[in-house]
């Protein structure tokens, strides 16, 4: 793909991420994306078949940032494993702050579209499950090192962390504050050590 085409596509995706966070899928039109990206008419359908494909690719672009945050925090072997897991969420908090606490794109689109679009429901569930899976790998290390009780179901704990985070992200958007996010993290990591899940539902 020529550089100009790559740049135009990136501008459209970046504009789409902001607009989808702010307005949701149904609130965003193709023209508003073009206007926000400073792109000419016709460029949208040059890169995307339709609005659905565009939004799915915005999710992919969003997940690229999630992958970076996971790699940055979870691969830091100098830190205790539980600190690495919490560090991932702290990176996400910083991102939310820079965006004005608009919440999680996955959670927002999931609430809006999962009941009407199996394509989006499957996509978003896969993304959340992937995040939980990455976290569970490091929680396994924490359990092996004695930082979590031996009976801890690490897959269930990772799922609970992701589920709790999505709820806190919604409340954070309502309040435009990091407080619900920090409260959730403090409670979850305290509970993980004192009252670990041993058979909760998994993704």
Measured distance CA(194)–CA(200) in Å, rounded:
16
**Span 156-175, pLDDT tens digits:** 999 999 999 999 999 999 99
Does residue 1 register a pLDDT over 70? no
SS3 content of the chain, % helix, strand, coil (to 5): 75, 0, 25
Torsion of CA 89, 153, 67, 103, to 10 degrees: -40
112 touches 26 (CB < 8 A): yes
Q: Which domains does the chain have, with CATH numbers?
A: 1-48 (1.10.10.60), 51-194 (1.10.357.10)
What pLDDT is attached to residue 199?
Answer: 66
Burial of 75 (0-12, 13-18, 19+ CB in 10 A): exposed
Residue 6 pLDDT level (bands cut at 50, 70, 90):
confident
CB contact set of 77 (below 8 Å; sequence gap of 6+): none
Model confidence over 89-148: pLDDT tens digits?
A: 999 999 999 999 999 999 999 999 989 999 999 999 999 999 999 999 999 999 999 999
- Mean pLDDT over 145-157 rounds to 96
Whole-prediction pTM value? Answer: 0.92
The span from the CA of 196 to the CA of 137, in Å, is: 16
């Amino acid at each position: 793909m020529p550089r100009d085409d790559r740049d135009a596509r990136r501008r459209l995706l970046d504009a789409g991420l902001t607009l989808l966070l702010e307005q949701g899928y149904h609130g965003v039109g193709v023209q508003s994306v073009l206007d926000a990206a400073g792109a000419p008419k016709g460029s949208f359908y040059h890169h995307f078949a339709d609005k659905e494909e565009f939004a799915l690719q915005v999710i992919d672009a969003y997940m690229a940032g999630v992958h970076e945050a996971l790699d940055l925090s979870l691969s830091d072997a100098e830190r205790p494993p539980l600190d690495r897991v919490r560090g991932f969420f702290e990176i996400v908090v910083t991102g939310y702050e820079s965006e004005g606490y608009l919440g999680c794109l996955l959670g927002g689109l999931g609430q809006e579209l999962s009941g009407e679009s199996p394509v989006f429901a499957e996509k978003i569930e896969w993304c959340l499950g992937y995040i939980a899976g990455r976290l569970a790998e490091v929680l396994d290390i924490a359990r092996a090192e004695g930082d979590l009780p031996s009976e801890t179901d690490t897959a269930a704990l990772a799922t609970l962390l992701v589920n709790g985070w999505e709820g806190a992200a919604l409340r954070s958007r309502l309040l435009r504050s990091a407080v619900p996010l920090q409260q959730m993290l403090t409670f979850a990591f305290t509970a993980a050590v004192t009252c670990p899940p041993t058979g909760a539902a998994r993704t």
